[in-house]
Amino acid sequence: MKLSEFVGYGDRLKQLMRSVQAGRIVHALLFTGPHGSGKRTMAAMFAQAMLCKGDEPRPCGVCPACKRFEAGSHPDVRTVRPEKKTIGVDAVRELIDYLAMRPYEGGRHIAIIEQAEKLTPAAQNALLKTLETPPGDAMFFLISDAPGAILPTILSRCQTVRFSDLSVEDCAAVLARRGLPENRAGMLSGMAQGSVGRALELDKDNEYMALRERVLQSLETLSGPASVAPAATMLEDDKGTESTILEIMELWARDRMAVQSGQTPYQTFDQKRLEAFKLDGRALLLGVLRLRAELSSNVSWPNALEQMYFHLI
């Protein structure tokens, strides 16, 4: 993967990459942003670029250092991630000991901390001093969906790089460059609301597609009191997928609202279907939000769904 493949981020990241390689930057970068927005891929690319011994633009992808990095066997890289629910102080001490050794290939050590918000407070405190004056010029990459859980003392020692989801068009362009057919790329990026990572998950998830179709058909069946029971029956067997059903309905409701007010929906590939949809987007959205709240208080799924459908018609 190359930096230029990060549509919409290219220039900013190129600049940051130059600063990193010129040593004009703090020793720690924090990559934040929603799940699937590309922060982990980008952190890895930065790390690889720093270890690359090939020609510009780095990472070259072909030198021995790049090959080792991509195979996960570069001796000067250490990745720390939660083992159960947290990253404890022992894992951090082990990392600090590792960084105190001389880099195997004579360059710099790279430490990557995934889900950095899972560092316990003790672990964060143990990390603090090393982050400020890393031994041997080591470079830290912290990655987090939820930087709010990271101590301010840690945050203040990191330069933050924020990722947001791409526009649906940019996301589709990224997917197409990864070899997905254009139609499918457009469809997946709409369903994933511009999140490349989410779109790639959906690409492999055949059940999701089938479930989505059933949810939409169920909603489209609704037309009067007599239609409620059959429409709800279409979804009653989907025990365990209630939250996915609600996500599908929520996105559909938001897109229906967009279409009703003349704006562009996420799921542009379904524009015609959204226009032909009979229910009001706002009413559907409110129903979904209410249903989600009810489900967390132990109301049974088929009953709650039927109730919502009655309200809708």
Helix, strand, coil percent values for the chain (each to nearest 5)? 60, 10, 35
CB nearer to Zn ion: pick between 26 and 63? 63
The reply on whether position 57 binds Zn ion by CB under 5 A is no
Site membership for Zn ion, residue 52 (CB under 5 A): yes
Does 107 participate in binding Zn ion (rule CB under 5 A)? no
Quick one: which of 13, 60, 209, 295 contacts Zn ion (CB under 5 A)? 60
Q: Which residues pair with 143 in a beta bridge?
A: 31
Q: Which residue, 52 or 180, has its beta carbon nearer to Zn ion?
A: 52
**Total residues binding Zn ion (CB under 5 A):** 6
Q: State how far the alpha carbon of 159 is from the alpha carbons of 20, 40, 105, 123, 142, in Å.
A: 11, 16, 26, 20, 10
The DSSP 8-state label assigned to residue 8 in this structure reads T
- Of 152, 153, 90, 141, give the one whose Cα is nearest residue 116: 141
Q: Is 1 in the site for Zn ion (CB under 5 A)?
A: no
- Site membership for Zn ion, residue 7 (CB under 5 A): no
Query: For Zn ion, which is the closer residue by CB, 11 or 55?
Result: 55
Verify binding: residue 17, Zn ion, rule CB under 5 A.
no
Q: How far is the CB of 112 from Zn ion (least distance, A)?
A: 17
Task: Quickly count: other Cβ atoms within 10 Å of residue 69's Cβ.
Answer: 24
Distance CA(227)–CA(243), nearest Å, equals 23
Which two three-digit tokens encode residue 56? 């510009």
139 token code pair: 């470079």
Taking CB under 5 A as the binding criterion, the range among 57-65, 174-182, 246-254, 288-296 that sits at the site for Zn ion is 57-65
When asked if residue 82 is in the footprint of Zn ion (CB under 5 A), the reply is no
Question: Using the rule CB under 5 A, is 3 a contact of Zn ion?
Answer: no
By C-beta, is 54 or 82 nearer to Zn ion? 54
Which is nearest to 291 in space by CA: 237, 234, 253? 253
CB of 60 to Zn ion, least distance (A): 4
Integer Cα distance of 311 and 196 in angstroms? 36
The answer for residues whose C-beta is within 8 angstroms of residue 10's C-beta and 6 or more apart is 3, 4
Contact characters 116-135, Zn ion, x per CB under 5 A = --------------------
Stretch of 33-41, 55-63, 113-121, 263-271 contacting Zn ion, by CB under 5 A: 55-63
Q: For residues 66 and 143, which CB has a smaller minimum distance to Zn ion in the complex? A: 66
- Contact residues toward Zn ion (CB under 5 A) are 52, 54, 59-60, 63, 66
